[in-house]
Each structure stands twice: as C-alpha cells, then as structure tokens.
Amino acid sequence: MKNVAMFLSVVGLAFLLSLQVHGDDAAQVAKETPLMIKRLPDVPGKEALLEKVVLAPGQVASPHRHNADVFVYVLEGTIVTQLKGGLSQTLHAGDVFYESPTDIHNGSRNASSVESATLLVFFLKKIGAASTFPLPAVDGAH
C-alpha cells in the first residue's frame, strides 16, 4: 500500500507539472485526483490508472506525452486540444479522445474563461511507470 501511495504521488506530480498554466499565473496547475489504480491480471505487466482532472477557467495544459494509452472523456465544459501532426479539436461534455504512447500532445486549454472543464482520464500503462512526461513548449500550441 505504501508503494501505491508513493507511486500515485509521483504520477500526480508529473501530471500536475505537465498542466502548468501559461501567462502571469504560472503557479496555477490543474486539479488532478487519482480515483483508482489496478493491476490487470489478464494483461501481464500492465495496470490501469483512472483520474479526474479539472482545468480552471482559461487554463492551458503544457505540451507533454504519455507513457500509456490514454482515453479521455469530457465530463463538463469545453476543451481545445491538439496532437502533434493533427488538427485542433474542440471537445464538449460527452466527447472523448485517445492518445497513444507515441503521440505528442501539443497541449489543451479550457475554452471557457469563466467555467472549469472536468475530464475523466483512463491510462493503460506498464506497472509502476510514470504516466505523463512534460515537454518543451511547441510553436502554435494551445
């Protein structure tokens, strides 16, 4: 149990670092809440991590990539997101998107300047591996 708590702390820190806000309020980060981590007996060496992520009004997530297959469901609000080489997408509550372990996520931003956006994020990853890695800013990123 102690290892799980330490792992969640490291994962949470990495994810929070990847969601720093650009601009004058650079100390603000997304509120990320781990909901469950579970080893998968039918998929040796893999575990699932389920998190809730809240982006404050106008918040921008910095460029990053994931060491995981990532499935995202927009619970509330609207976000604008873009993967390297792809088109920018505007996603509303009820929409979903996927990121592979090789995708570079140029960034996402909460499209609203007054309401939060809430995401349900499911990671499928190697046991014990960090799920998110911050990257240098990309020209034209959100």
Per-residue pLDDT of the chain in tens (142 residues, 90 and over written 9): 444 444 444 344 344 334 443 444 433 457 889 999 999 999 999 999 999 999 999 999 888 889 899 999 999 999 999 999 999 999 999 999 999 999 998 889 999 999 999 999 999 999 998 888 788 765 554 4
Is 95 inside a domain boundary? yes
Q: How many domains does the chain have?
A: 1
131 and 66 Cβ atoms separated by less than 8 Å: yes
Is 142 inside a domain boundary? no
Q: Is the dihedral of CA 15, 21, 26, 31 positive or negative?
A: negative
CB atoms within 10 A of CB 140: 9
Nearest by Cα to 106 from 124, 125, 122, 85? 85
Nearest by Cα to 33 from 57, 53, 11, 4? 53
Give the per-residue pLDDT at 135: 83
Domain carrying residue 44:
2-134
